[in-house]
């Protein structure tokens, strides 16, 4: 992507109205969106050969970490909608990566589980994907990476509280 952080500048009137601190925060928001899009594009490119997307990989990770979550629980963990997770889970089910089943205690609830095929697949490629992520973040020193993580965690927690 050819965009640069300077492309995120505000108009003079808008910047003056927000003040220096406010303008920095708005530009930071825009930059986070840009970086998130670029990271997702890079990971989508890595996964394309396997017929998968970053969203699908994220759902597999959530299902693996939560055990047998409901669609609603997986949606909450991903910060997305029930309908979006249902759509992604159905695609993963067709590909043999996720099993969708009924909850034994509530027939209205659908539970997700990763398959043996999925576990084998991610075991084969996980290290390579992790190395790519390390390369993408190699411009940061150890302390910078830790600080960025801690700052983003604070923002994410604040946003979760706001979302209810």
Q: What is the pLDDT along the chain (164 residues), one digit of tens a residue?
A: 445 555 577 777 777 788 888 888 999 999 999 999 999 999 999 999 999 999 999 999 999 999 999 999 999 999 899 999 999 999 999 999 999 999 889 888 999 999 999 999 999 998 999 999 999 999 999 999 999 999 999 999 999 888 87
Please tell me whether residues 66 and 92 are part of one structural domain: yes
SS3 for 40-108, per residue?
A: HHHHHHHHHCCCCCHHHHHHHHHHHHHCCCEHHHHHHHHCCCHHHHHHHHHHHHHCCCEEEEEECCEEE
Backbone angles phi, psi at 107, to 5 degrees: -65, -20
Please tell me whether residues 150 and 93 are part of one structural domain: yes
Please tell me whether residues 88 and 39 are part of one structural domain: no
Please tell me whether residues 39 and 53 are part of one structural domain: no
Residue 63 · residue 112 · CB < 8 Å: yes
The residues that bridge with 113 in the sheet, in sequence order, are 99
Please tell me whether residues 100 and 54 are part of one structural domain: yes
What domain range is 153 assigned to? 49-163
pLDDT score for 127:
92
| CA atoms in the 13 A half-sphere facing the CB of 60 | 24
pLDDT score for 163:
80
Please tell me whether residues 32 and 97 are part of one structural domain: no
Residues 6+ apart with CB under 8 A from 101: 110, 111, 113
pLDDT score for 93:
97
Backbone angles phi, psi at 106, to 5 degrees: -150, 105
**Rounded CA gap, 36 and 22, in Å?**
21
Q: How many residues does the chain have?
A: 164
Final residue of a domain: which of 33, 48, 63? 48
Please tell me whether residues 72 and 149 are part of one structural domain: yes
Count the domains in the chain: 2
Please tell me whether residues 66 and 137 are part of one structural domain: yes
Please tell me whether residues 83 and 42 are part of one structural domain: no
Please tell me whether residues 43 and 86 are part of one structural domain: no
Please tell me whether residues 11 and 76 are part of one structural domain: no
Locate 81 and state its tokens.
Answer: 């909608």
Please tell me whether residues 111 and 69 are part of one structural domain: yes
CATH number at residue 146: 1.10.10.10
Q: What is the dihedral of CA 114, 115, 121, 125, to 10 degrees?
A: 20
pTM: 0.84
């Amino acid at each position: 992507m050819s965009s640069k952080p300077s492309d995120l500048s505000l108009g003079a009137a808008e910047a003056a109205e927000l003040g220096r601190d406010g303008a920095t925060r708005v530009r930071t928001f825009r930059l986070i969106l840009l970086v998130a899009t670029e990271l997702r594009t890079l990971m989508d490119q890595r996964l394309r050969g396997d017929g998968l997307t970053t969203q699908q990989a994220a759902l597999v990770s959530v299902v693996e970490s939560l055990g047998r979550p409901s669609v609603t629980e997986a949606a909450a963990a991903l910060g997305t909608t029930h309908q979006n997770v249902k759509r992604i889970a159905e695609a993963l089910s067709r590909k043999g990566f996720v099993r969708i089943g009924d909850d034994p205690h509530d027939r209205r609830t659908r539970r997700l589980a990763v398959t043996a095929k999925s576990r084998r697949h991610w075991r084969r490629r996980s290290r390579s994907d992790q190395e790519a992520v390390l390369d993408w973040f190699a411009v940061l020193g150890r302390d910078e990476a830790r600080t960025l993580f801690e700052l983003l965690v604070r923002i994410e927690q604040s946003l979760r509280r706001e979302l209810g």
